Chains A and B, each alone.
Chain A
Amino acid sequence: MSSDFSTIDKLGAAMTFHRERHAVLAGNVANVDTPGYRPYDITQGGAASGELELAPTEGGAMQANAEPGAAYAKTFDDGGNLAGPDGNAVSMERELAKIDANRTRYATAAELVSRRMAMLKYAAGDGSGG
Protein backbone atom coordinates (compact mmCIF):
# COMPACT_ATOMS: atom_id res chain seq x y z
CA MET A 1 0.00 0.00 0.00
CA SER A 2 1.57 3.27 -1.02
CA SER A 3 0.91 5.33 2.05
CA ASP A 4 3.29 8.07 1.00
CA PHE A 5 2.65 11.28 -0.85
CA SER A 6 5.13 10.84 -3.68
CA THR A 7 2.53 10.34 -6.38
CA ILE A 8 0.52 13.26 -5.05
CA ASP A 9 3.66 15.39 -5.19
CA LYS A 10 4.24 14.35 -8.78
CA LEU A 11 0.67 15.23 -9.67
CA GLY A 12 1.22 18.59 -8.03
CA ALA A 13 4.33 19.15 -10.13
CA ALA A 14 2.30 18.21 -13.20
CA MET A 15 -0.29 20.83 -12.28
CA THR A 16 2.44 23.42 -12.02
CA PHE A 17 3.71 22.46 -15.46
CA HIS A 18 0.24 22.71 -17.01
CA ARG A 19 -0.34 26.07 -15.35
CA GLU A 20 2.93 27.42 -16.76
CA ARG A 21 2.10 25.99 -20.14
CA HIS A 22 -1.24 27.78 -20.10
CA ALA A 23 0.56 31.11 -19.74
CA VAL A 24 2.73 30.28 -22.76
CA LEU A 25 -0.25 29.24 -24.88
CA ALA A 26 -2.24 32.30 -23.75
CA GLY A 27 0.64 34.38 -25.05
CA ASN A 28 0.34 32.68 -28.44
CA VAL A 29 -3.37 33.53 -28.56
CA ALA A 30 -2.70 37.13 -27.55
CA ASN A 31 -0.15 37.41 -30.38
CA VAL A 32 -2.32 35.82 -33.05
CA ASP A 33 -2.02 38.97 -35.17
CA THR A 34 1.48 40.13 -34.23
CA PRO A 35 3.76 40.39 -37.27
CA GLY A 36 6.68 37.96 -37.20
CA TYR A 37 5.46 36.08 -34.12
CA ARG A 38 6.06 32.33 -33.87
CA PRO A 39 4.14 30.33 -31.26
CA TYR A 40 6.03 28.97 -28.24
CA ASP A 41 5.48 25.81 -26.22
CA ILE A 42 7.12 24.04 -23.30
CA THR A 43 7.58 20.38 -22.45
CA GLN A 44 8.50 18.70 -19.21
CA GLY A 45 12.18 17.92 -19.48
CA GLY A 46 11.62 14.31 -18.45
CA ALA A 47 12.92 14.95 -14.94
CA ALA A 48 9.92 16.16 -12.99
CA SER A 49 11.94 15.59 -9.86
CA GLY A 50 13.91 18.75 -10.35
CA GLU A 51 16.97 17.27 -11.99
CA LEU A 52 18.77 19.77 -14.17
CA GLU A 53 18.35 18.90 -17.79
CA LEU A 54 19.55 20.97 -20.67
CA ALA A 55 17.36 19.31 -23.25
CA PRO A 56 17.32 21.14 -26.55
CA THR A 57 14.47 19.72 -28.57
CA GLU A 58 14.49 19.53 -32.32
CA GLY A 59 12.92 22.18 -34.39
CA GLY A 60 14.26 25.41 -33.06
CA ALA A 61 14.64 24.95 -29.33
CA MET A 62 15.52 27.93 -27.24
CA GLN A 63 17.65 27.63 -24.16
CA ALA A 64 16.33 25.02 -21.79
CA ASN A 65 15.56 26.19 -18.33
CA ALA A 66 18.47 25.66 -15.99
CA GLU A 67 16.95 26.38 -12.61
CA PRO A 68 16.11 23.59 -10.21
CA GLY A 69 12.56 22.42 -10.09
CA ALA A 70 11.76 24.00 -13.41
CA ALA A 71 13.42 21.86 -16.05
CA TYR A 72 11.04 22.70 -18.84
CA ALA A 73 12.28 22.60 -22.40
CA LYS A 74 11.22 25.70 -24.31
CA THR A 75 10.56 25.39 -28.01
CA PHE A 76 8.93 27.00 -30.96
CA ASP A 77 5.95 25.01 -32.14
CA ASP A 78 4.67 26.25 -35.46
CA GLY A 79 2.94 22.93 -35.97
CA GLY A 80 3.88 22.88 -39.62
CA ASN A 81 2.16 26.22 -40.20
CA LEU A 82 3.61 28.38 -42.87
CA ALA A 83 3.96 31.91 -41.67
CA GLY A 84 1.58 34.39 -43.23
CA PRO A 85 2.75 37.36 -45.30
CA ASP A 86 3.50 39.34 -42.15
CA GLY A 87 5.57 36.51 -40.67
CA ASN A 88 2.97 35.47 -38.09
CA ALA A 89 2.81 31.67 -37.71
CA VAL A 90 0.05 31.31 -35.14
CA SER A 91 -2.93 29.09 -35.87
CA MET A 92 -5.63 30.20 -33.47
CA GLU A 93 -7.55 26.94 -33.71
CA ARG A 94 -4.45 24.92 -32.89
CA GLU A 95 -3.60 27.07 -29.89
CA LEU A 96 -7.16 26.90 -28.56
CA ALA A 97 -7.15 23.12 -28.96
CA LYS A 98 -3.87 22.89 -27.05
CA ILE A 99 -5.24 25.12 -24.33
CA ASP A 100 -8.26 22.89 -23.94
CA ALA A 101 -6.23 19.68 -23.80
CA ASN A 102 -3.86 21.30 -21.33
CA ARG A 103 -6.74 22.39 -19.13
CA THR A 104 -8.14 18.84 -19.15
CA ARG A 105 -4.84 17.36 -17.99
CA TYR A 106 -4.69 19.97 -15.24
CA ALA A 107 -8.22 19.23 -14.09
CA THR A 108 -7.60 15.46 -14.15
CA ALA A 109 -4.45 15.84 -12.08
CA ALA A 110 -6.39 17.91 -9.56
CA GLU A 111 -9.11 15.27 -9.39
CA LEU A 112 -6.55 12.49 -8.94
CA VAL A 113 -4.97 14.40 -6.08
CA SER A 114 -8.36 14.68 -4.41
CA ARG A 115 -9.10 10.99 -4.81
CA ARG A 116 -5.72 9.79 -3.65
CA MET A 117 -5.94 12.09 -0.65
CA ALA A 118 -9.34 10.60 0.13
CA MET A 119 -7.93 7.10 -0.07
CA LEU A 120 -5.09 8.00 2.25
CA LYS A 121 -7.54 9.57 4.66
CA TYR A 122 -9.65 6.43 4.55
CA ALA A 123 -6.66 4.20 5.15
CA ALA A 124 -5.44 6.44 7.95
CA GLY A 125 -8.81 6.22 9.66
CA ASP A 126 -8.77 2.49 8.98
CA GLY A 127 -12.11 2.63 7.22
CA SER A 128 -13.96 3.33 10.38
CA GLY A 129 -15.86 6.30 9.03
CA GLY A 130 -12.73 8.49 8.65
Chain B
Amino acid sequence: MSSIAPMKIGSIESAPVVEKKPEADLAHSFTKALDEARSLDNEATQKADAFAANDQSVGIHEVMIATEKANIALRYATTLKNKALEAYHELMQTNV
Protein backbone atom coordinates (compact mmCIF):
# COMPACT_ATOMS: atom_id res chain seq x y z
CA MET B 1 0.00 0.00 0.00
CA SER B 2 1.40 3.40 -0.96
CA SER B 3 1.88 5.73 1.98
CA ILE B 4 -0.65 8.42 2.70
CA ALA B 5 0.78 11.88 2.90
CA PRO B 6 -0.20 13.62 6.15
CA MET B 7 -3.17 15.85 5.54
CA LYS B 8 -2.64 19.55 5.95
CA ILE B 9 -5.47 21.53 7.34
CA GLY B 10 -7.37 23.12 4.51
CA SER B 11 -5.89 20.99 1.79
CA ILE B 12 -8.35 18.19 1.57
CA GLU B 13 -8.62 18.70 -2.17
CA SER B 14 -4.95 17.98 -2.58
CA ALA B 15 -4.99 14.76 -0.53
CA PRO B 16 -3.50 11.92 -2.61
CA VAL B 17 -5.76 9.09 -3.65
CA VAL B 18 -4.89 5.72 -2.11
CA GLU B 19 -3.83 3.28 -4.76
CA LYS B 20 -5.98 0.20 -4.86
CA LYS B 21 -4.03 -3.10 -5.32
CA PRO B 22 -6.43 -5.62 -6.83
CA GLU B 23 -4.60 -8.66 -5.46
CA ALA B 24 -5.30 -7.64 -1.92
CA ASP B 25 -8.99 -7.19 -2.55
CA LEU B 26 -11.21 -9.76 -0.82
CA ALA B 27 -13.97 -9.27 -3.35
CA HIS B 28 -11.57 -10.03 -6.15
CA SER B 29 -10.32 -13.19 -4.45
CA PHE B 30 -13.85 -14.34 -3.97
CA THR B 31 -14.77 -13.79 -7.61
CA LYS B 32 -11.67 -15.66 -8.69
CA ALA B 33 -12.46 -18.54 -6.33
CA LEU B 34 -16.00 -18.71 -7.62
CA ASP B 35 -14.82 -18.90 -11.21
CA GLU B 36 -12.33 -21.60 -10.25
CA ALA B 37 -15.04 -23.56 -8.45
CA ARG B 38 -17.35 -23.27 -11.41
CA SER B 39 -14.72 -24.39 -13.90
CA LEU B 40 -13.52 -27.30 -11.73
CA ASP B 41 -17.11 -28.37 -11.20
CA ASN B 42 -17.69 -28.43 -14.95
CA GLU B 43 -14.58 -30.50 -15.41
CA ALA B 44 -15.58 -32.92 -12.69
CA THR B 45 -19.09 -33.24 -14.09
CA GLN B 46 -17.76 -33.79 -17.57
CA LYS B 47 -15.39 -36.51 -16.37
CA ALA B 48 -18.07 -38.15 -14.23
CA ASP B 49 -20.50 -38.20 -17.16
CA ALA B 50 -17.87 -39.75 -19.43
CA PHE B 51 -17.00 -42.27 -16.72
CA ALA B 52 -20.66 -43.15 -16.34
CA ALA B 53 -20.86 -43.83 -20.07
CA ASN B 54 -18.11 -46.41 -19.54
CA ASP B 55 -15.58 -44.30 -21.44
CA GLN B 56 -12.38 -46.24 -20.84
CA SER B 57 -10.20 -43.17 -21.40
CA VAL B 58 -11.38 -41.70 -18.08
CA GLY B 59 -9.48 -43.53 -15.35
CA ILE B 60 -10.84 -43.93 -11.86
CA HIS B 61 -8.08 -41.80 -10.39
CA GLU B 62 -8.80 -38.99 -12.86
CA VAL B 63 -12.45 -38.75 -12.07
CA MET B 64 -11.86 -39.06 -8.30
CA ILE B 65 -9.19 -36.35 -8.32
CA ALA B 66 -11.34 -34.04 -10.46
CA THR B 67 -14.28 -34.54 -8.10
CA GLU B 68 -12.26 -33.83 -4.98
CA LYS B 69 -10.73 -30.73 -6.56
CA ALA B 70 -14.19 -29.41 -7.35
CA ASN B 71 -15.25 -30.22 -3.81
CA ILE B 72 -12.37 -28.30 -2.28
CA ALA B 73 -12.82 -25.36 -4.65
CA LEU B 74 -16.48 -25.16 -3.66
CA ARG B 75 -15.63 -25.15 0.02
CA TYR B 76 -12.95 -22.53 -0.47
CA ALA B 77 -15.27 -20.25 -2.42
CA THR B 78 -17.92 -20.71 0.25
CA THR B 79 -15.46 -19.87 3.01
CA LEU B 80 -14.42 -16.70 1.18
CA LYS B 81 -18.03 -15.78 0.66
CA ASN B 82 -18.73 -16.21 4.35
CA LYS B 83 -15.73 -14.10 5.25
CA ALA B 84 -16.81 -11.38 2.82
CA LEU B 85 -20.25 -11.45 4.35
CA GLU B 86 -18.77 -11.24 7.84
CA ALA B 87 -16.65 -8.26 6.85
CA TYR B 88 -19.67 -6.57 5.30
CA HIS B 89 -21.77 -7.07 8.44
CA GLU B 90 -18.98 -5.75 10.63
CA LEU B 91 -18.67 -2.74 8.44
CA MET B 92 -22.41 -2.08 8.54
CA GLN B 93 -22.33 -2.17 12.33
CA THR B 94 -19.50 0.33 12.62
CA ASN B 95 -20.76 3.58 14.01
CA VAL B 96 -19.75 6.24 11.62
Per the CB under 8 Å rule, do A and B touch in the complex? yes
Please list the residues of chain A having a beta carbon within 8 angstroms of any beta carbon in chain B: 1-2, 7, 10-11, 13-14, 17, 43-44, 46, 48, 104-105, 108-109, 111-112, 115-116, 118-119, 122-123, 126-128
The segment from B2-10, B12-20, B62-70, B88-96 found at the interface with A is: B62-70
Query: How far does the Cβ of B36 sit from chain A's closest Cβ, in whole Å?
Result: 12
> Nearest residue in B to A10 (C-beta to C-beta)?
B52
Cβ-defined partner of B51 (8 Å) among A112, A115, A118, A126:
A112
Known interface pairs A7-B45, A11-B48, A122-B74; A112-B63 also in contact (CB < 8 Å) = yes
Set of chain B residues within 8 Å of A123, measured between Cβ atoms? 74, 78
- Whether the pair A112, B67 counts as a contact (CB closer than 8 A) is yes
Distance in angstroms between the alpha carbons of A115 and B64 in the assembled complex: 9
Please list the residues of chain B having a beta carbon within 8 angstroms of any beta carbon in chain A: 37-38, 41-42, 45, 48-49, 51-54, 60, 63-64, 67-68, 70-71, 74-75, 78-79, 82
> Nearest residue in B to A108 (C-beta to C-beta)?
B60
Known interface pairs A105-B60, A115-B68; A13-B41 also in contact (CB < 8 Å) = no
- Whether the pair A44, B71 counts as a contact (CB closer than 8 A) is no
Count A-B pairs with CB separation below 8 Å: 66
Dominant SS at the B interface?
helix
Query: How far does the Cβ of A126 sit from chain B's closest Cβ, in whole Å?
Result: 7
Set of chain B residues within 8 Å of A115, measured between Cβ atoms? 67-68, 71
Distance in angstroms between the alpha carbons of A43 and B54 in the assembled complex: 9
Cβ-defined partner of A2 (8 Å) among B45, B54, B78:
B45
Besides A10-B49, A112-B48, A126-B78, 14 more A-B contacts (Cβ < 8 Å) are A1-B74, A2-B41, A10-B52, A11-B52, A44-B53, A105-B51, A105-B54, A108-B63, A111-B64, A115-B67, A119-B70, A119-B71, A122-B78, A127-B82
Cβ-defined partner of A1 (8 Å) among B41, B63, B67:
B41
- Whether the pair A10, B48 counts as a contact (CB closer than 8 A) is yes
Known interface pairs A11-B52, A112-B63; A122-B75 also in contact (CB < 8 Å) = yes
- Whether the pair A112, B74 counts as a contact (CB closer than 8 A) is no
Known interface pairs A2-B41, A105-B60; A48-B52 also in contact (CB < 8 Å) = yes
